[in-house]
Amino acid sequence: DQQVKQNSPSLSVQEGRISILNCDYTNSMFDYFLWYKKYPAEGPTFLISISSIKDKNEDGRFTVFLNKSAKHLSLHIVPSQPGDSAVYFCAAHNQGGKLIFGQGTELSVKP
Amino acid sequence: SQTIHQWPATLVQPVGSPLSLECTVEGTSNPNLYWYRQAAGRGLQLLFYSVGIGQISSEVPQNLSASRPQDRQFILSSKKLLLSDSGFYLCASSWGANTEAFFGQGTRLTVV
């Protein structure tokens, strides 16, 4: 049972354009959502998060949007840079401490 | 922030041998601790999580077990490794439910 889903395994974007990464979840008990960036053979690094009481959180080039009714969140990167190329994971937390990750989306930003 | 120490970085073990991976955390007390596995080309699968000493929640029935003998120590074990246990194992720590988790650098386990 995949409770957090990233249906696009890969995304290719031109440098300077917007990257939009999507994530869906099924469990309404999740109340905190996070995005991580990961390079091969390394641990993921935290990017940005959002609480379920908000619908948007912005940090520099990164913005996360949450649509609770649709159980959907997205990460926008504007403008995209070649150094953003990596695998991006969304994750969801519940009050019991469980932290579930999606399958990841590999972003490639081309110069 | 927290610092997560994981070792070893790489490990090659024969089928049927035991396993013990250790994770220790600096910079916090009473953290939530997690073990994840990333199989080749796949996502991060939650294996175990712990909200306190001696409290372990298992997410996937499998050949592995976890223990938390001390507040900031989390151990992943197996009595007999299977080929399917190969993967990239990651330990993570967070201050609580609605905070970000910090990850260690991972252990690449190859079972041969």
pLDDT digits (tens, 9 = 90+) for A35-62: 999 998 899 999 999 999 999 999 999 9
pLDDT 10s digits, B57-93: 998 867 899 999 999 999 999 999 999 999 999 999 9
Distances (CA, A) of A29 to A3, A54, A95, B65: 11, 15, 8, 26
Residue-level length of chain A:
111
Q: Which of A44, A49, A93 sits opposite B103 (nearest CB)?
A: A44
3-state secondary structure of A45: strand
**H and E: helices and strands count for chain A:** 0, 11
- Number of cross-chain residue pairs from A and B with Cβ atoms under 8 Å apart: 66
- Mean of the per-residue pLDDT values of chain A: 94
For A97, phi and psi rounded to 5 degrees? Answer: 100, -10
**CA A20/CA B1 separation, integer angstroms:** 28
| Chain B residues near residue A93 by CB distance under 8 angstroms | 97-98
Is the separation of the CB atoms in A33 and A66 below 8 Å? yes
Report the pLDDT value the prediction gives residue A13, as an integer from 0 to 100.
Answer: 98
Cβ of A100 and B57 within 8 Å?
no
Please give the sequence-ordered ranges of beta strands (E in DSSP) within B1-112, or none if there are none.
3-7, 10-13, 19-26, 32-38, 44-52, 55-58, 65-70, 73-78, 87-94, 101-103, 107-111
Please name the member of B42, B49, B106 whose beta carbon is closest to the beta carbon of A98: B49
Shortest distance, CA A101 to any CA of chain B (angstroms): 6
pLDDT band at A1 (very low <50, low <70, confident <90, very high): low
Contact across the interface for B103 and A101, Cβ inside 8 Å: no
Sign of the alpha-carbon dihedral angle for A95, B45, B109, B90: negative
pLDDT at B60: 81
Is A96 within 8 Å of chain B by CB?
yes
- CB atoms B103 and A97 under 8 Å: no
What's the pLDDT score for residue B61?
67
pLDDT band at A96 (very low <50, low <70, confident <90, very high): confident
Q: Do B90 and A43 touch (CB under 8 A)?
A: yes
Query: Strand, helix or coil at B85?
Result: helix
Nearest CA in chain A to B97: A97
Among B11-20, B62-71, B94-103, the range of highest mean pLDDT: B11-20
What confidence score (pLDDT) does residue A38 get?
94
A69: contact with B, CB 8 A cutoff: no
Q: Do residue B36 and residue A101 have CB atoms under 8 angstroms apart?
A: yes
